[in-house]
């Protein structure tokens, strides 16, 4: 889904107006009085959520106390990934919030999207899961060896057991036999009282992503625990405010040995980037999709966040896909075209997108964390980048490092 940028009007030509010099009698009677400081109001080029804002507070502030004092009823309160809240604000409330000394910035809430393309192959019917000696996934076959020809095997000794991967998505089909009871509910930010299950009427995006991370036959880390944090609705949309709430939840509840996968993309957002940095500072690696806009991933969030591991997509011929976003913010490339994985309701389906590339990297991160549970997020990212196969990808796009994901003998 391509998102158009909105042009803003230029400044007025003030120099054409006559310069009026006020008489001395109109001078401010209180020369010591200063104009109240207003926190910056940030907007971006995406689809805005009318009258809804993310408020960033100074560290040490109390979001609930401050919002109550301002007469604001917040939808989300952030205390761990960063400090702040999100709420619907009237123009008067917005001015009052921006005038408050503890407020660092206010950002217009905006829509984010799941980062995948259409299904490209017919789904297979539900069938009992069974262990496989080989693999039907060229993606798995590709990431466990540096060079072709592929051997139709997926060979690793680590399983990711003991590591939790939080799947920030549409939800997970917990009953799918491929997960073997390792998928569970975390938080549902879409349905009040919901359990984070995947949409039965939607694309099954989260179930497919979770399958690439850790399903028995199609997953990278087949012993990892998968926790659903549902932020995308059945149309594959969310908002900055809700996305930040998901990262804040993980920052509050996750062990530092955990990994996050967020196959979601949107316009550049300071709030999203700050939450990503806050999560990474707690040791949890945020693995994110580069995006399918075929443009610079640095112009989007969370793919442009310094603390994120943004993943671009390749195809079975080791070509960078035509849809994958690119640039220096793409830290590593991984298979993302025609990827077979778990389907909502059982069986399998095939999908394409950087949504599918990111969970390969999240799975390898889980394998590494299982061996190195105390490794911080930067150490894990550096290891993934350092182990990647060099100069294997063709049709590379501008500014993108030629690094293809590799399991590194785990």
Angular region, 46: left φ>0, alpha ψ -120 to 50, beta rest: beta
Helix (H, G, I), strand (E, B) or coil at 33: coil
Q: Which of 14-28, 222-236, 280-294 has the lowest mean pLDDT?
A: 14-28
pLDDT category of residue 121 using cuts at 50, 70 and 90: very low
pLDDT for 278 equals 98
Q: What is the maximum alpha-carbon separation in the chain?
A: 90
Among 258, 112, 116, smallest CA distance to 190 is for 112
Q: Is the pLDDT of residue 70 over 90?
A: yes
- Start-end of H helices in 225-348: 240-253, 270-281
* DSSP annotation of 26: G
pLDDT for 115 equals 80
Q: Is the pLDDT of residue 30 over 90?
A: no
Element (H or E) spanning 141, and its range? helix 138-143
Q: Do residues 354 and 290 touch, judged by C-beta distance below 8 A?
A: yes
pLDDT for 296 equals 98
Q: Is the pLDDT of residue 69 over 70?
A: yes
Q: Is the pLDDT of residue 3 over 50?
A: no
Q: Among this protein's residues, is 382 annotated catalytic?
A: no
Q: Is the pLDDT of residue 345 over 80?
A: yes
Angle ∠(309,200,289) on CA atoms, nearest 5:
10
Among candidate residues 116, 144, 169, 198, the one labeled active-site is: 169
Among 7, 87, 94, smallest CA distance to 45 is for 7
Angle ∠(83,58,284) on CA atoms, nearest 5:
40
**Could you give the percent of the chain with pLDDT greater than 90?**
83
351-362 mean pLDDT: 98
Residues 88 and 50: their CA atoms lie apart, in Å, by: 8
pLDDT for 180 equals 96
Cα dihedral: 383, 354, 178, 380 (round 10) = 10
Compute the mean pLDDT over every residue in the chain, rounded to the nearest whole number. 90
Q: Is the pLDDT of residue 280 over 90?
A: yes
387-391 mean pLDDT: 98
Cα dihedral: 376, 270, 326, 330 (round 10) = -10
93-97 mean pLDDT: 98
pLDDT category of residue 203 using cuts at 50, 70 and 90: confident
pLDDT for 202 equals 83
Residues 288 and 153: their CA atoms lie apart, in Å, by: 26
Q: Among this protein's residues, is 355 annotated catalytic?
A: yes
Residues 131 and 138: their CA atoms lie apart, in Å, by: 17
* DSSP annotation of 113: E
* Domains along the chain with CATH numbers: 36-110 (3.30.70.80), 114-404 (3.40.50.200)
Q: What share of the chain is helix, strand, coil (3-state, %, to 5)?
A: 25, 25, 50
184-188 mean pLDDT: 98
**Residue with more model confidence, 32 or 70:** 70
Q: Among this protein's residues, is 169 annotated catalytic?
A: yes
Among candidate residues 215, 341, 355, 377, the one labeled active-site is: 355
Both structure tokens of 116: 């995948």
Q: Is the pLDDT of residue 118 over 90?
A: no
pLDDT for 35 equals 63
pLDDT category of residue 327 using cuts at 50, 70 and 90: very high
Among candidate residues 205, 215, 217, 300, the one labeled active-site is: 205
pLDDT category of residue 16 using cuts at 50, 70 and 90: very low
Q: Do residues 333 and 349 touch, judged by C-beta distance below 8 A?
A: no
Q: Is the pLDDT of residue 301 over 80?
A: yes
Q: How far is CA 265 from CA 49, 190, 237, 290, in A?
A: 16, 17, 10, 7
Both structure tokens of 130: 């069974």
Q: Do residues 347 and 121 touch, judged by C-beta distance below 8 A?
A: no
């Amino acid at each position: 889904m391509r998102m158009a940028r909105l042009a803003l009007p230029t400044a007025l030509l003030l120099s054409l107006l006559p310069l009026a010099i006020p008489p001395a009698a109109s001078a401010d009677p209180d020369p010591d009085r200063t104009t109240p400081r207003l926190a910056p109001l940030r907007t971006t080029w995406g689809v805005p959520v009318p009258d809804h804002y993310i408020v960033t507070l100074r560290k040490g502030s109390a979001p609930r106390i401050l919002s109550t004092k301002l007469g604001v009823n917040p939808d989300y309160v952030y205390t761990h990934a960063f400090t702040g809240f999100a709420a619907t604000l009237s123009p008067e409330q917005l001015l009052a919030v921006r005038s408050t000394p503890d407020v660092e910035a206010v950002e217009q809430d905006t829509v984010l999207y799941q980062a995948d393309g259409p299904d490209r192959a017919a789904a297979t019917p539900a069938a009992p899961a069974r262990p496989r000696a080989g693999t039907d996934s060229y993606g798995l076959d590709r990431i466990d060896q540096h060079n072709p020809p592929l051997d139709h095997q997926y060979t690793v000794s680590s399983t990711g057991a003991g590591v939790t991967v939080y799947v920030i998505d549409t939800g997970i089909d917990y009953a799918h036999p491929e997960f073997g009871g390792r998928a569970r509910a975390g938080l549902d930010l879409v349905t009040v009282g919901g359990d984070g299950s995947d949409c039965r009427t939607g694309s099954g995006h989260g179930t497919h992503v979770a399958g690439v991370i850790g399903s028995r036959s199609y997953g990278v880390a087949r012993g990892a625990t998968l926790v659903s944090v549902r932020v995308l609705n059945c149309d594959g949309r969310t908002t900055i405010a809700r996305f930040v709430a998901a990262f804040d939840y993980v920052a509050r509840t996750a062990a530092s040995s955990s990994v996050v996968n967020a196959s979601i993309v949107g316009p550049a957002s300071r709030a999203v980037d700050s939450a990503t940095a806050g999560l990474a500072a707690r040791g949890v690696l945020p693995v994110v999709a580069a995006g399918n806009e075929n443009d610079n991933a640095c112009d989007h969030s969370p793919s442009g966040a310094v603390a994120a591991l943004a993943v671009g997509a390749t195809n079975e011929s080791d070509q960078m896909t035509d849809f994958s976003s690119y640039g220096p913010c793409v830290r590593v490339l991984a298979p993302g075209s025609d990827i077979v994985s778990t389907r909502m309701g059982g069986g399998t389906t095939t999908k394409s997108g950087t949504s599918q590339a990111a969970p390969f990297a999240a799975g390898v991160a889980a394998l590494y964390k299982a061996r190195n549970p105390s490794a911080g997020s930067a150490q894990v990212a550096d290891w993934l980048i350092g182990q990647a196969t060099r100069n294997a990808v063709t049709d590379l796009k501008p500014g993108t490092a030629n690094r293809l994901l590799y399991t590194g003998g785990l």
